[in-house]
Amino acid sequence: MRHIAFGCFSLLLAATTVQAAWLEASSDHFVIYGDQSEVAARKFAERLERFHAAMAYVYGKPETKPGPSNRVTVFVVPSTAKVRKVTGARNSYLAGFYLPRAGSSVALVPRLRGGAKDELTGEKVLYHQYAHHFMQATLTTRAYPRWLTEGFAEFFGGVQFKADGTVVLGAPAHHRGAELAYAREVPIRTLLSFDGGASDKKPGYSSFYGQSWVLFHYLQMGGERAGEFAKYRQLLATGHSALAAAESAFGDLDELENDMDAYVKRRKITAFVIPEARLTIGAIALRTLRPGEAAMMPIMMESRVGVSRKEALELVPEARKVAALHPGDPTVLAALAEAEFDAGNDDAAIAAADRAVAIDPQQINAHIQKGYALARKVESGALPVGSWNDVRLQFVKANAVENDHPVPLVQFYLTYMKQGERPTKNAIAGLEWAMQLAPFDGSVRWLVAQQMVADERFADALQTLGPLAYSPHSGEKTDAALRLLKDVEARLQQDKEQSPDSIKVE
């Protein structure tokens, strides 16, 4: 995931959004905010839910309903240009944004519109990224080579929705056509290496995503190489390197590359066509946001995607102005608490959170922001060390509001670590449950792995570290996770050599 510097949302959007009739579309797996019509909002929510249901149908996964905060929040903004301005991105190809995060996964897409089939629209970006989310949250947490994870996302991200309710998965990736025709081709052995050439310093835009789509589609739907894809995944699961698994499963890789070239030139390819009767989606609830919520929405969006200290200090006066106009709105007050905390104003954050909870005791974000502020006051010395018990109690209250929200579980665990005490069994169990709720969040996975190592649960730690250490998308914890994984592997090998069963009598 790219680390993007975010500009000030309120300055970019406040002038146009305060007066807008913002709508919330709430469904089983998504909550969508935008100033579109009710018809457009409902259709978008239905498409997202049908997309999820179609992938679940293909893989035979039972329908599940995550907790409210484990849904993906989608903000709809006016245009792709606005997406780039909001995120501060210089990439002219950026059409949408997605950030997977425990209890706060968020997407930013432009207002939906018709687009040419060869155009990479913000909606296509969202489907691509949600396919990643689905793979990690529903199918597997195992780390796969980059071509496979991106090929999977491209295969499903090109979803088509027919007027009769049919969903088509694996349709031709027309938006990758120019890339496949004109971009620098990735050599087959580089493509099949674990990072897919990501570490290659050679300049120029490559056809990596297009080639990954071709290979995934060919192995999944082509028919000629039956059983090879399953063998490849099995070899990866049993410790073979990416390239060794490919050579063993696919045979001559030059021949595979030729077959891929021939496959992409076919006039017809097979796709999954899933009729509406096979897809079950839950109810979609629409509501118009209250005036205070609509006025606070630009600030809430910026807070969700993350702010620097400088940006937070610029944002908080705007939040205070909105809260002064709408002092009885608990959502507004919870957003003010978050803005105050981001700006370093712990007492003001606690006061705003208390006002929000007094109006609506179920205001989960207010409970969490108060917990954050209390914890920082103890860490800074503004509150005595014994106040860690009060911090823990605050996160217990948050957990009571929403039992499956991962953030209170993680923060409850962290209170012990920050206090310098060993976490209780209950705290450790809560942390591990948070990872199950949000397996895509690398920071939570890293905490779990470190605790497993501390508890000498080395086999569990090895399994937990794998997806992080070998992630195709390197992050701040990737290198540290790989080093720890190697240490754990060495420890397991040492224990094996020292076990009584391994002693040889000569």
State if pTM tops 0.75: yes
Print the domain residue range for 449.
Answer: 441-506
Q: Is residue 461 part of a domain?
A: yes
Lowest-pLDDT range of 212-221, 390-399, 474-483: 474-483
Asked whether the predicted pLDDT for residue 262 surpasses 70, the reply is yes
Read off the DSSP letter of residue 271. -
Helix H or strand E segment including 26: strand 23-26
Q: Is residue 472 part of a domain?
A: yes
Predicted local confidence at residue 200, as pLDDT = 72
SS (H, E, C) 410-475: HHHHHHHHHHCCCCCHHHHHHHHHHHHHCCCCHHHHHHHHHHHHHCCCHHHHHHHHHHHHCCCCCC
Rounded to an integer, the average pLDDT of 453-475 is 85
Q: Is residue 27 part of a domain?
A: no
Q: Is residue 352 part of a domain?
A: no
Q: pLDDT tier at 82 (50, 70, 90 boundaries)?
A: low
Q: Is 40 helix (H, G, I), strand (E, B) or coil?
A: helix
Report the domain count for the chain: 1
Q: Is residue 490 part of a domain?
A: yes
Q: Is residue 487 part of a domain?
A: yes
Q: Is residue 167 part of a domain?
A: no
**Strands ordered across the beta sheet of 106-110:** 97-99, 106-110, 72-77, 30-34, 23-26, 285-288
Q: Is residue 314 part of a domain?
A: no
CA separation for the pair 327, 352 (Å, rounded): 10
Mean pLDDT of the chain: 87
